Chains A and B, each alone.
Chain A
Amino acid sequence: MISAKNILETITMIREENLDVRTVTMGISLFDCCSEDIDTLCGKIYDKITKSAENLVPVANQIEKEYGIPIINKRIAVTPISLILAPCSNRDAVKIALTLEKAAKECAVNFLGGFSALVHKGFSSGDRELIEAIPDALSVTSRICSSVNIGSTKAGINMDAVRIMGEIVHKTAKKTEKDNCIGAAKLVVFCNAPEDNPFMAGAFHGIGEPDKVVNVGVSGPGVVRSALAKVPKDMDLSSVAQLIKNTAFKITRVGQLVATEASKRLGVPFGIVDLSLAPTPAVGDSVARILEEMGLEVCGTHGTTAALALLNDAVKKGGVMASSHVGGLSGAFIPVSEDEGMINAVKKGALSIEKLEAMTAVCSVGLDMIVIPGGTAPETISAIIADEAAIGMVNSKTTAVRVIPAIGKKTGDMLEFGGLLGSGPVMPVSNLSSEIFVKRGGRIPAPLQSLKN
């Protein structure tokens, strides 16, 4: 029999330390739905999604119960809609968003991602219509998530797209002002977007993916934090890294088990496990608190970037052996509003956007769930996106920006989203203008490291 110690360790992780599988996400290709007519297209999209994912939620619920491991979200990711929109002669992207919403409701999933466009080198037919429709689409739907890839290590950064996205983020917040600007929380701007990411808001079903696929995102910051809390404060960092690796291995094995079972029961191929430490607003389930447990007074102080680099690397090294295929974002997430410790650090004045930007150079994503003043100029949002994309492009990693301009609010106010999205203090951004730089447009050329062949 498995030892009592191991059983109780697992039970404690689930009961006290918020161990869960964050998401089981089914990727669905919509290429075979393409049509010249928008109504035919919408009909085909609805049928394909509802038929493919009809068992997703029941199967996930069953696995949750049999193995006793909470599966927090069940989600769907679809082919970037701009590609599906392209062959249509009477294009209407908002109509597709409403169709996706209806399908998501029918399947009872929490979110559906893929209202997306990939424009890292330029716009093709359908891309502009989709991007222009984002503010409306996100204001008339509640479960739809949108993402736009504006740069890559191979292609450089499309600064025309960056300029437009600054405006789109602002418009989306404005359109959903009455609902705490939540539209902007469901919109992410990427550099080097992964095609198999199960996490929202950036999930979409990449063009190289099979017709259907199951991807799983694990979680578990609380487990890592409490493992660190149990060891002496003078344990050296090699041993700390080893401890995190061991813990990440266990967390990821649970993800792999859920992924394998879901794939088998749904009759859909298994794609990847995303080994991410995804925090929630629950006390203790925080990436910031892990960094503090390592010995920083408050997250954001000097040493934070180094601690995060260690954490991010150890999570990957521990997780990679636990899963047959690893992908997605895989690393530590540092969203502000979704992480109780990050919120605390911002309130204490210890954590700024500039520090967060530095941290994104060594973790898995980017500036995530950061609330900024509603009066921030769209060009400044574009400049924030450009900075973040530059970090991703040069370091051959994914970076993203998900900022929420809090319309009508100023620095220090709070914006409440509720649920997993949490609540965020409005953080200051520079008042100095980036307008001329952003308006130049064109492309920032791909860096030398893109020439690997």
Chain B
Amino acid sequence: MKMRAVITVIGKDAVGILASVSSKCAEHNINVLEVTQSILQDLFAMIMLVDIEKSTIEFTRFADELTALAKTKNLSIHTMHEDIFNTMHTI
């Protein structure tokens, strides 16, 4: 089974958000597969699907790092295993 995660970044749009998150991914050999942007209640929402199969960091620690990054940039970042969305929205 493929190990994939969804990173959702929510906050005010600003320069360099995509760059900062994707460079974190690169740092740990996490491949970005898809990026989409959307709007959530007037906020900017960026959704990234990433491949964590070859990741060099434990997934929960990666999530912690992104949470820390979110704090410094005044954003909200949710890093969640893809399965929760598949389970919830498909039969």
Contacts and interface: CB of A to CB of B under 8 A. Distances in A.
B86 interface: yes
8 contacts: A1-B34, A2-B86, A11-B10, A11-B40, A67-B81, A67-B84, A250-B89, A257-B83
A15 B77 CA distance: 11
B23 interface: no
B88 A254 contact: yes
Contact of B83 (A14, A65, A67, A250): A67
Interface residues of B, number: 29
Interface of A: 1-12, 14-15, 62, 65-69, 250, 253-254, 256-257
A253 B86 CA distance: 10
Contact of B38 (A8, A62, A65): A8
Given A2-B6, A7-B47, A68 B36 contact: no
A257 B87 contact: yes
A2 B38 CA distance: 13
Interface in B26-49: 33-34, 36, 38, 40-41, 45, 47, 49
A6 B88 contact: yes
A2 B85 contact: yes
Contacts of B60: 62, 65-66
A252 to B, nearest CB: 10
Contact of B80 (A6, A68, A253): A68
Name the 5 nearest CB pairs between A and B, nearest first.
A68-B80, A6-B89, A65-B60, A67-B84, A2-B85
A10 B78 CA distance: 11
Contacts of A7: 6, 8, 47, 85
Contacts of B86: 2
B80 to A, nearest CB: 3
B40 A10 contact: no
Contact of A11 (B8, B63, B81): B8
A15 B33 CA distance: 25
Contacts of A257: 83-84, 87
B35 to A, nearest CB: 10
A66 B83 CA distance: 10
B49 A1 contact: yes
B78 to A, nearest CB: 5
B71 to A, nearest CB: 16
A450 B43 CA distance: 57
Contacts of A66: 59-60, 63, 80-81
A5 B38 CA distance: 8
B32 to A, nearest CB: 12
